[in-house]
């Protein structure tokens, strides 16, 4: 307490994260979690429509311009989220083989390669269904 009997409360800087690039990227990555949640909700709506036999209603909703725009933004946010998550993996996981520590670039490369492979396999089956 100070002389007037009140606690000292410093002013809060609401843009603290904008002062450093790494902090900005951290906050942006955390905000992309909202789009991850939206994607889960969208996929649950898809499964619900398939279960109820309401495919036409779902496709009508998904074809609206605002829904397409939202999903394009969500796709970009999910890609950013995935890349930053995979880039952080070597800091969170130490891999040793016979006492030799696997370099970070190998862990990142393996993660990104696996992501690309799984995405290609999914794209193959999804796009094959449309032809």
What was the pLDDT predicted at 16? 85
Query: Are 63 and 127 found together in one domain?
Result: no
The count of structural domains within the chain is 2
pLDDT of residue 2: 60
The CB density around residue 122, as the number of other CB atoms within 10 Å, is: 10
Mean pLDDT within 58-67: 96
- Structural domain includes residue 41: yes
Supply the CATH number for residue 13's domain: 1.20.1300.10
- Spell out the alpha helix ranges (H) of 4-63: 21-52, 55-62
- Residue 50 falls inside a structural domain: yes
Read off the pLDDT of residues 110-131 as tens digits, 9 standing for 90 and up: 999 999 999 999 999 988 876 6
Is 36 in the same domain as 4? Answer: yes
How many other C-beta atoms are found inside a 10 Å radius of the C-beta of residue 32? 20
* 3-class secondary-structure state, position 101: strand
Domain limits at 123? Answer: 93-131
Q: What's the confidence (pLDDT) of residue 119?
A: 93
* Least confident among 9-13, 15-19, 79-83, 119-123: 9-13
In a domain, 87, yes or no: no
């Amino acid at each position: 307490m100070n002389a007037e009997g009140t606690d000292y409360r410093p002013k809060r800087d609401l843009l603290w994260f904008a002062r450093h690039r790494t902090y900005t990227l951290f906050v942006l990555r955390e905000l992309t979690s909202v789009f991850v949640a939206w994607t889960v909700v969208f996929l649950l709506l898809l499964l619900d429509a398939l279960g109820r036999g309401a495919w036409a209603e779902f496709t009508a909703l998904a074809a609206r311009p605002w829904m397409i725009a939202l999903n394009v933004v969500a796709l970009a946010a999910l890609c950013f989220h995935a890349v930053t998550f995979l880039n952080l993996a070597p800091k969170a996981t130490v891999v040793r083989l016979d006492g030799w520590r696997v370099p970070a670039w190998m862990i990142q490369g393996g993660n990104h390669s696996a992501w690309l492979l799984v995405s290609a396999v999914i794209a193959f089956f999804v796009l094959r269904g449309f032809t």
